[in-house]
Structure 1
Amino acid sequence: MSFSLSMKVSPEAAALLQSKFGGHPGFIRLAYDNEGCGCSLSGAIALWIVDKAEASDLSVSSDSGLDFIVNRSDAVYFDERLSITISGFDKTSVRLASDGQSYGSSIPIQDRRTEAQIRA
């Protein structure tokens, strides 16, 4: 099965996401985080800044110039066309949505890069 995801990013959300990199390289991973949930269907959508893409990752096309990735096994949880805007609740998180649904209105951005990579 083939997936083709695309991400539309508002200018404000792009600026927030870019600021999280701190001038260091990385990717923004769209994740379906079910760690500690006890069931693969009881997860939460997350955005993680990571060091590198893995062999099982798919690239997500974006109009922002930011590098988005998603693990092939997580891609099934997302619609093909996604959008990110600044959260209406707090200006340090984002809202992820598609035409059909909202994945979260206050998704935090977690930096999961290793300290060595951030200092490089």
Structure 2
Amino acid sequence: MNIHVTDAAKQALQQAFDANPGKKAQLRYDAEGCGCAVSGVPTIWLAEELTGQCEQLETNGIPLYIQSSQKVFFDDQMTIDYNEKAKTLALKSPAEMLSPRMSILVK
């Protein structure tokens, strides 16, 4: 799995890292409160400890992890971009927009 992070998204993520030193970024398919495990929302969690059995994703500079069991919810090639108008991240693949407003959740 490879994720390209645009320069604008790198800047937004770096600001989150700077505000939360020592925390690691984990791409999550967050289904809490969604009613069904397959009705989740892509989210980036910033936490001191990674949850579950994780592996580091291939990115262009931003350290990002994912639970091995959650890889099924994502595409092999994705891009994290920054939506200036909404002031949030966007997760997309060549085939679809996975999340036009992906949040960063500090745990």
Verify same fold: TM over 0.5. yes
Aligned residues: 106
1:89–1:106: 8 Å Cα contact kept in structure 2? no
1:77 equivalent to 2:68? Answer no
Preserved CA contact (<8 Å) 2:5 2:62: no
Indicate the RMSD between aligned Cα atoms, in angstroms: 1.5
Match of 2:55 in 1: 58
1:25 aligns with 2:22: yes
8 Å Cα contact 1:25/1:51 also seen in 2: yes
SS in 2 for 1:86: strand
Aligned mate of 1:43, from 40, 45, 70: 40
In structure 1, stretches of 5+ residues that fail to align are 113-120
* TM-score of the two chains, using structure 1 as the length reference: 0.80
CA distance in 1, matches of 2:103, 2:10: 14
Distance in 1 (alpha carbons) for counterparts of 2:98 and 2:24 = 20
Given the two structures, how large is their TM-score scaled by the length of structure 2?
Answer: 0.89
1:22-75 residue CA offsets vs partner (Å, 9 max, x unmatched): 261222111111112221111111111121335611210110x22101111111
Larger radius of gyration: 1
Contact 1:88–1:105, Cα closer than 8 Å, also in 2: no
Sequence identity, in percent? 25
